[in-house]
Amino acid sequence: MKTQGRTYFLTGVLISVAGALCFSTKAILVKLAYQNFEIDALTLLGLRMLFSLPFFLLFSIRAFFRYALPVTLKQWIAICATGLLGYHISSLLDFAGLLYISAGLERLILFIYPTLVLLMSSIIFRERITQRQWVAVTVSLLVS
C-alpha cells in the first residue's frame, strides 16, 4: 500500500508541476495578444472563458455522474456567485494588470500568493505548517 501512496504523491507532484508550467504560459500569451491585436482585457478574458467552457462542462458532467452529490438550488447559487466573484474578477484584474507590468512580474506575484496564504494562516490561525505543505510551497516556488 505504501507504493500506491507514493505513486499517488508523485503523480500529484507531476500534475501540479505541469499545471504550473501551463499556467505560467498564460501571461505570455496575454502579453502577445495585447501586442498583436487591438483588444482589451474584458474581451480577451471573455474569449479565454469561451474557449475553456467546453472543458469545464465536460469535467462538470463527468463529476456529476461519477459522484452524484445532491446540490440544492441555494448551493448552486452560492457556487455560481463564488465562481463569478472569485474567479472572474481575479482573472479580469490579472489580465488588466498585464497591461502595466511584465509577464514575469505578474507570474511571480501569483506564485508567491500561496506562500503568503500559508504563512498568514500559520500566524493568524496558529496552524502548524506540515512537511507536505513545505514541499508544496517549495515545488511551486521552484516552478515559478
Query: 115-124 pLDDT, tens per residue?
Result: 888 999 999 9
Q: What DSSP character marks residue 127?
A: P
Chain segment 9-36, per-residue pLDDT in tens? 999 999 988 987 887 788 889 999 999 9
pLDDT (0 to 100) of residue 112: 84
Cβ neighbours for 44, distance < 8 A, ≥ 6 positions apart: 30, 33, 34, 95
Q: Taking the model in full, what pTM does it have?
A: 0.67
For residue 87, what pLDDT band results from cuts at 50, 70 and 90? confident
Buried b (16+ CB within 10 A) or exposed e, 47-72: ebeeeeeeeeeeeeeeeeeeeeeeee
* Mean pLDDT, residues 124-142 taken together: 88
Give residue 50's identity as a one-letter amino acid code. Answer: L
